[in-house]
Amino acid sequence: MSKGIERISTGVDELDKILRGGIPKGFVVAVTGEPGTGKTILCLHFIAQGLKNGDPGIYVTTEESRESIIRQAEQFGWDFLEAMARGKLIIIDALLREQRDEWSLSRLTIDELIAMIIKAKKTLGYGHARLVIDSMSAFWLDKPAMARKYAYQVKRALYKWNFTILMTSQYAITTSDAFGFGIEHVADGIIRFRRFVREGELRRYLIVEKMRQTDHDLRMWEIKIIDGIGMKLVRSVEYRKEDFVLPKKVVERIVSAREEKEKEL
């Protein structure tokens, strides 16, 4: 662990070890990967560990309802409803905008997102808090070129509000292209999830690609999602080129599509 750096536990012991004690306090970390790889579960761990340690939390959900997030937390033994009742957790629902309440976004815009997060932080009170935005991709689905600008806008606006932040970003299963680009350049850290089918079994993996001020582990780790427990890192795996290189035909289609876009520009 680096001297003089206060670190925030992710809630996953093995991941904390990889990060030499956890995420540096105040960082913005991008959590990227295909759907179903474990991004949301890591975010639930992060919030639950904060509640255990005395850090209030704000969870912004754009692709699932508030009720879905609460149910998933219950699956792993975390009572988010109780934390909400105590005024220690606010879940901002940006999906079911037709069922509006105090903590629902009426429009999926960056300005409204920032305003709602600041309102929630004022409600929770002074001091450090944990923030999850799951996912940022929802804000630029119709304008992916704005991803970097929007991510920077969120980071800059919330910098002084004493947050440590996880922002998830989706990748397409078929191409591994991000739904938008640039969030990784804005983030202080990148935790990337991958998924592959090996011998007929779906397997999930995690790698820390970047974490400033941290001499982190550079290996890819296989992970398991265990009911009643959550995420566990089970073993490091040897990197093999064939595991991560896309099929030639898929690469050719991606290159062709990008060339057409460049011609249009």
Q: What is the CATH number of the domain that holds 120?
A: 3.40.50.300
Q: Find the mean pLDDT for residues 59-73.
A: 96
**DSSP secondary structure letter of residue 244:** H
The mean pLDDT value for 197-201 works out to: 84
Phi, psi of 18 (to 5 degrees): -60, -35
Write down the residue that tokens 């935790």 correspond to: 191
Q: How many domains is the chain partitioned into structurally? A: 1
- In a domain, residue 243? The reply is yes
Q: Which two tokens stand for residue 124?
A: 């929770």
Whether 2 maps to a domain, the answer reads no
Supply the pLDDT for residue 98. Answer: 61
pLDDT in tens, 14-57: 999 999 999 999 999 999 998 899 999 999 999 999 999 999 99
Residue 116 is assigned to a structural domain of this protein:
yes
pTM, two decimal places: 0.86
Cα–Cα distance for residue pair 255/249, rounded to 1 Å: 10
Asked whether residue 13 is assigned to any structural domain, the reply reads: yes
CA angle 22, 26, 28 (to 5 degrees): 85
The pLDDT, as a whole number, for residue 205 is 96
The C-alpha atoms of residue 201 and residue 214 are separated, in whole angstroms, by 33
The backbone torsions φ and ψ at residue 225, rounded to the nearest 5 degrees and listed phi first, read -105, 115
Weakest-pLDDT range from 62-66, 252-256, 258-262: 258-262
Percentage of the chain with pLDDT > 90? 68
Mean pLDDT, to the nearest integer, of 90-96?
Answer: 91
142 pLDDT band, cuts 50/70/90, is: confident
Cα 47 to chain centroid distance, Å, stands at 11
Contact present, 234 and 222 (Cβ < 8 Å): yes
Q: Name the least confident of 43-52, 142-151, 222-231.
A: 142-151
Q: Provide the pLDDT confidence category of residue 175 given band limits of 50, 70 and 90.
A: very low
Q: How many C-beta neighbours within 10 Å does residue 106 have?
A: 11
Average pLDDT of span 183-190: 91
Give the mean pLDDT of 54-83. 96
Confirm whether 1 is domain-assigned.
no
C-alpha span between 164 and 158 (Å, rounded)? 10
| Residue 80 domain flag | yes
227 within a domain of the structure (yes/no): yes
Residue 192 carries which side chain, given as an amino acid letter? R
Residue 56 domain-assigned (yes or no):
yes
Residue whose entry in the numeric block shows the structure tokens 């089970």: 234
Q: What is the mean pLDDT of residues 49-66?
A: 96
- Domain holding 64, by residue range, is 7-264
Residue 99 has pLDDT above 50, yes or no: yes
Tokens of 203: 């397997």
